[in-house]
Amino acid sequence: MLSKKTKYGLKALAYLGGRKDKQPVQIAEIAEQENISQKFLESILLSLRKTGFLGSKKGKGGGYYLIKNPDEILMTDVMRVLEGPISMVPCVSLNFYEQCDDCPDETACAVHKLMLKVRDANLSVYRHNTLADLLA
């Protein structure tokens, strides 16, 4: 299940990406328009800023803004920053692989085989969608 952190992060990115003026937007405005707790949103936007999706400006007229164009923001990258590993179990993760402690042979494991298919299906969707696709 998608975490609230990821859901709210996607909503905030979509809000910023949908702005025509591309000017910085205050957290309070995003929180109000997207019905998100301002305090929770602060930590989400900070993560997105630290990982290069957003820029921020302090002071009057300050706030957050997209650094990249929406068509350059891949959902795989956003999901990994906000949600963590895309795979549901560590033994099929591309970036965070760990062998399961209860499975002596991954090649014979039915769960492993299924989770590979799930991971690949999810990756296909995330890789072929950008923030621009969410805005369309």
Of 46, 28, 35, which is closest to residue 11 (Cα–Cα)?
35
Give me the CATH number covering residue 28: 1.10.10.10
First CA to last CA distance, the chain:
24
Decide which of 43, 66, 89 is a domain's last residue: 66
pTM of the model: 0.89
Is residue 52 located within the same domain as residue 77? no
Task: Give yes or no for residue 1 having a pLDDT over 90.
Answer: no
Q: Which residues constitute the domain of residue 14?
A: 4-66
Is residue 42 located within the same domain as residue 91? no
The mean of the pLDDT values for the chain is: 94
Is residue 62 located within the same domain as residue 90? no
With contact defined as beta carbons under 8 Å apart, do 33 and 14 qualify?
no
Is residue 55 located within the same domain as residue 100? no
What is the tens place of the pLDDT at every residue in 27-51? Answer: 999 999 999 999 999 999 999 999 9
Q: What is the pLDDT of residue 134?
A: 95
Number of structural domains found in the chain? 2
Counting Cβ atoms within 10 Å, is residue 5 exposed (0-12), middle (13-18) or buried (19+)? middle
